[in-house]
Amino acid sequence: MSAEAHPIGESLDMIDAQVTLYRDFLSAAESDTYLDTLVSEINWKQETIRVPGGPVPLPRLTAWYGDAGTTYSYSGITVQPNAWIMPLITLKQRIEAVAGVTFNSVLLNYYRDGSDSVGWHSDDEPELGINPVIASLSLGAARAFQFKHRGRSGAATKHRINAR
Q: Which residues would be at the binding site for ligand AKG (CB under 6 A)?
A: 109, 118, 123, 134, 136, 138
- 26, 15 in Cβ contact below 8 A? no
C-beta of 103: minimal distance to ligand AKG in Å?
A: 12
Residue 52 or 60 having the CB closest to ligand AKG: 60
146 forms beta bridges with: 158
- 21, 10 in Cβ contact below 8 A? yes
C-beta of 2: minimal distance to ligand AKG in Å?
A: 26
* Crossing angle of helices 86-99 and 28-41, rounded to 10°: 130
Q: What percentage of the chain's residues is helix, strand, coil (to nearest 5)?
A: 20, 25, 55
C-beta of 4: minimal distance to ligand AKG in Å?
A: 27
Indicate the residue whose CB is closest to ligand AKG.
Answer: 136
Residue 4 or 114 having the CB closest to ligand AKG: 114
124: which residues sit within 8 A by CB, 6+ positions away? 132
Residue 75 or 90 having the CB closest to ligand AKG: 75
SS3 at position 28: helix
C-beta of 136: minimal distance to ligand AKG in Å?
A: 4
Residue 55 or 59 having the CB closest to ligand AKG: 59
SS3 at position 10: strand
Residue 28 or 118 having the CB closest to ligand AKG: 118
C-beta of 144: minimal distance to ligand AKG in Å?
A: 10
